[in-house]
Structure 1
Amino acid sequence: MARNQQDLEWYRECFTEPARAIGEVSSNYTKHPTFAGVPERMHELLPKAKLIYLVRDPVERAVSHYVHNWAHRRWSKSIGETVLPVEESWPLTVSRYHMQLSQYLEYYSMREVLVIQSERLRRRPGDIMEEVFRFIGVDPTVARKEGAFEEEHHVSTEKIRKNGLAAFFTDPALGRAVKNAGKQLLPQRTIEWAKDALWKDVEKPTLSDDIRSRVEDYLREDMDQLRALTGKEFEGWSV
C-alpha cells in the first residue's frame, strides 16, 4: 500500500523517537505531476515544515533516473527513446527543478526551503551538513564528527540489472521471503554464485550529441529560473 494511503496515525507512529528535529525523505515528493497534490497534503499536515531540496546536474540526474528504472526492469526502451520527445519525458520533467519547487512555493516561502547542490555535498559533506543543521535548528557541530557522513548509498555506477528470476527473488514478498531463507540455509559462496548468475552490471548509457543538445535546450529555461530564484550558480552543470 502506498504511504499516502495509510492513515495519519500510522504516519505519526513513524516518528516516536524523541528528537530536536524530525524528518523524512522521498524523491517522489518532487515528481509532479505523476505524484500530484503532495505540497497541498504536506502543508495541511505540517504548515511549518522546513524543506530541503537536493539537486544535481539535471541531465545527469535524468540519465541516472533511467539507469535506476532500467536496472529494475521497469523500463526497456533505450535512453534516447526515453528522453524523446523531450516535452513528454518523465525523467526530464523531474529534472525541471524550478517547476518542481514552484509547486511548494504556493504553500511555503523560500525562507522554509534550502536548496542543496548534490555535487557540493559530495565534495564537502561536513560544510553542507553544517548548513543543513543550522537550517533545521539543531547543533551544527555534529556535522564535524569524524566519519559521520562519509558513506554513499545508491551510487549509479554500482547499479545492477536483474533478469526475470532475480526480479522474482527481490521484488515480490514471496521472493523476499525465499531470499531471506536462503541466507539461513545456503553457504555464502553459493549465494555469491547465484548473485553473479542472476544479476549483471549496468553500463551507464551515453546520450548522442544531438539528443544531449535537445535535452539541454529543453532544460535551460527552467535552470535559468532556478538560478534566479535561489541566487545560486550551480557551477559545473551542463545546463
Structure 2
Amino acid sequence: MQHETLMAKTLPDFIIIGAMRAGTTSLHNYFQRHPQVSMSHDKEPNYFTEKKYELGEDWYVGQFDVGQMFRGEASPNYAKVDVFPGVPERIHRDLPDVKLVYVVRDPVKRFVSQYDHMVSRGFGLPEPGELCRHEDPLPPEPVRLTLDEPYRHILSISCYARQLKAYLHHFPLEQIKIVEFERLKQEPEVVLEDLQAFLGLDPLGPRTLPLLNRSKELTSVPQPILRSARDTRIGNWVRDRMSLETRDRLKRLIAAPFPDTKRAFPDEAIHRVRRDLADDIAEFRELTGMPFSSWSV
C-alpha cells in the first residue's frame, strides 16, 4: 500500500508527447525552471516505448521527485505511431488521467528540420531529391516503419492527424492540448499562460523561455562526435547529466571550426512532401478546429 501511494505521488501529471523538431526541448526546459514542477531526470525517458517499458514502473517512478506539486516529462518518440507502436495504449493503461501536450509546427518545415537533424547526427540519408523520389505514400492505417524507408519514416511524424487519432482512441480531445510552435514563438506569454492554465500551474511568464531554435550549432558538430554521444553508453550517460545550457555551450565550442552540413531541398522534393501531407493536415485542422494559418500546407 505504501509503495502504491509513493507511485501515485511520483508518476507524471502531464506528458509532452511531441512532435519531434517542434519545440519540445524548449518546453521541457521551461517547465524544468517552474517552481511547481519536477521534470523527469532523463530529458526523454521514452518509458512508454516497447523496450523502455520493459524496465518496469519502479524505474519510471524513479525519474521524478516526490517533493514537487506537479511532475512531467517530454518524449517526442511518443508521437511516432508508425515507429513506436502501442504508446498511446500503454500511457492510457498506466495513466488514464494524465494531461497530454502535443506541440506541432508547419509540417513541411518540421520534415526538413528532422532530415537536417538526422544528417547532422550521422545518419546516412540520401540527398533530398533522391529521398523524396521513390517511396510510396503512407497507407491509411499505421504501419511499422524503420529507417529502411527514410522518406515515409520522416513523413509519418509530420502526419499530425495520424498521430492524434491514435491518442483519440484512448483519450478525449479535452485531455490533449495542441500547441502551435509558430504561435509559441510569436506570442509566448499568451500561449504559455493558456498551457499552464490547462495543466493547473501558476503562470511563470515568458522571461525564462529558452531559445526555440538550438539546432544551428548541431549541424556543424563533426559526425563522429555526435555518433559517440548518441550511440555509446558513456556518451548517453554524460549527455543526460549535462544541463541544456552546458550542452549548448559545448556544441558551440566544438562546431566553431566546422562548416554547416545542411542540404538544400529542391522544389520538386518540397512539392512531393507538401502533396503527401495535404490530406492529413486537412483532417488535423478538422479534428482540432484550429486554422494553422501560417503553415505551407
TM-score scaled by length of structure 1: 0.82
Equivalent residue for 1:64, pick from 74, 90, 113? 113
Query: Which of the two has greater helix per residue?
Result: 1
Matched with 1:227 is 285
2: CA distance between counterparts of 1:177 and 1:133? Answer: 31
Flag the 1:210–1:168 CA change in 2: closer, same or farther, 3 A. closer
Matched with 1:95 is 158
Matched with 2:127 is 78
User: More displaced, 8-17 or 34-43?
Assistant: 8-17
Q: Which runs of 5+ in 1 are unaligned?
A: 180-190
User: Does the residue aligned with 1:232 lie in a helix, a strand or coil?
Assistant: coil
Query: What letter matches 1:214 in structure 2?
Result: R
Equivalent residue for 2:179, pick from 116, 122, 125? 116
1: CA distance between counterparts of 2:253 and 2:224? Answer: 14
The structure whose RCO (Cα within 8 Å, separation 6+) is larger is 1
1: CA distance between counterparts of 2:275 and 2:252? Answer: 45
Query: What letter matches 1:106 in structure 2?
Result: H
How many residue pairs end up in the alignment?
Answer: 222
Kindly state the Cα deviation for residue 157 of structure 1 after the two structures are TM-superposed: 3.0
- Output one character per residue of 1:179-215: Cα deviation in whole Å (capped at 9) or x when no partner: 9xxxxxxxxxxx9987656x54233x33222222221
Equivalent residue for 1:135, pick from 191, 198, 201? 198
Query: What letter matches 2:277 in structure 1?
Result: L
1: CA distance between counterparts of 2:291 and 2:58? Answer: 42
Flag the 1:221–1:200 CA change in 2: closer, same or farther, 3 A. same
- Output one character per residue of 1:30-58: Cα deviation in whole Å (capped at 9) or x when no partner: 11111010000000110001111000000
User: Does the residue aligned with 2:108 lie in a helix, a strand or coil?
Assistant: helix
Equivalent residue for 1:23, pick from 72, 77, 84? 72
Flag the 1:211–1:135 CA change in 2: closer, same or farther, 3 A. same
Kindly state the Cα deviation for residue 120 of structure 1 after the two structures are TM-superposed: 0.6
User: Is residue 290 of structure 2 the alignment partner of residue 238 of structure 1?
Assistant: no
Query: What letter matches 1:136 in structure 2?
Result: L
2: CA distance between counterparts of 1:9 and 1:26? Answer: 18
- Output one character per residue of 1:57-85: Cα deviation in whole Å (capped at 9) or x when no partner: 00000001111110010233112233343
Matched with 1:187 is none
Kindly state the Cα deviation for residue 165 of structure 1 after the two structures are TM-superposed: 4.2
TM-score scaled by length of structure 2: 0.67
Please say if residues 61 and 95 of structure 1, whose CA atoms lie closer than 8 Å, have aligned partners that are also in contact: yes
Q: Higher Cα Rg: structure 1 or 2?
A: 1
